[in-house]
Every structure is written in C-alpha cells, then in structure tokens.
Chains A and B, each alone.
Chain A
Amino acid sequence: MEVLQVIDDLVCTRRVVGLGAVSLRVLQSEQGVVSVASDPVGAPVGKWVLVATGTAARLAMPDPLTLTDLAICGIVDQWEPAA
C-alpha cells in the first residue's frame, strides 16, 4: 500500500457499467506521479490517504465487482512528506 495526496475530484460522466457511481479522486505521489483512485471513504482534497493497488483495490470497495485498480482505504491522520 502507498500514501498519496488527494489533489482533486474527477468528474467522469461516461463510464463503463462496472464502475458504477463510485466517486473518483485524482491523487499525487510525493514524486509527483498523478493517478486516479476510487474513493469509498469520501476523502477531502489536500488529505494524504492510504491506497491499495491491483486486485486488492477491488476488495477494498463495498462491492468487490467494482472495476478499479486503485482504491482509497483510509485517510492518514498526520503525514510529513519526505524532504
């Protein structure tokens, strides 16, 4: 699992059926790599979150049939990015 920062919401009207109506968040790593995660917790912009990758991400969703490969598993209370 990794710790990434939420930088924005993502609006995606046209999507595959398997993605349902899950919220999507744009995340950024400490190295600046941008990715998109499904969000079952409702993480606000600016927070650092814990994410699961691969098939584990699907198991982290309320419905494990959700088509995702990156899911937010929790909001980190306090996180200091490495200098």
Chain B
Amino acid sequence: MKIMRVEKTLVSTNRIEAFGHRPLLVVQERTGGIRSVAVDAVGCIPGDWVICVGSSAAREAAGSRDFPSDLTIVGIIDRWNPEGGV
C-alpha cells in the first residue's frame, strides 16, 4: 500500500458503465509529485493523507471483484508528517 495525499475530486461524467457512480480522487505521493487517480472507498476530503491499495485488493475494495480499479483508497491516516515520515 502507498501513502498518498488527496488533492481534489475528479469529475468524469462520460465514463464506462463498470465505474458506476464511484467517486474518483486525484492523489499525490508528495507535493509536486506524480498525480494518480484513485477510487474512494472510505469517503475522504482534499488534504487527507490516505493509504491506497493496488492489485486484486483494489478491485475488491472498490466494490466487486471485477471493478476496473488498480488504485483504491482503503483508509485515512490519523496523523502523518510528510517530512519526517513519522
């Protein structure tokens, strides 16, 4: 799993049916880092530090075994210091 920060929500109206109405969020490993898009399975807000899962766990966490996600948010970290790590 990766530690990421939620930057903003992503609006995508015309999407494949398999995505349903699942919320999509733009996440970043660090400020100014590469941005990725994750499916939100917990309900987080921009600024939250979260843990993102990949692989088959990402598909299942997003709703079902055949959900087409390769990055899903599975938890919100209580407190996290991005510089020192801990």
Residues of A within 8 A of B (CB): 7-8, 10-16, 18-19, 24, 26, 28, 34-38, 53-55, 57-58, 65-70
Contacts and interface: CB of A to CB of B under 8 A. Distances in A.
A67 B60 contact: yes
A46 to B, nearest CB: 12
B75 interface: yes
Interface stretch (B8-16, B20-28, B77-85): B77-85
B55 A26 contact: no
Given A36-B1, A36-B2, A67-B61, A15 B75 contact: yes
B1 to A, nearest CB: 4
Contacts of A36: 1-3, 51
Given A16-B75, A18-B60, A35-B2, A24 B85 contact: no
Interface in B27-78: 41-42, 51, 53-58, 60-61, 74-78
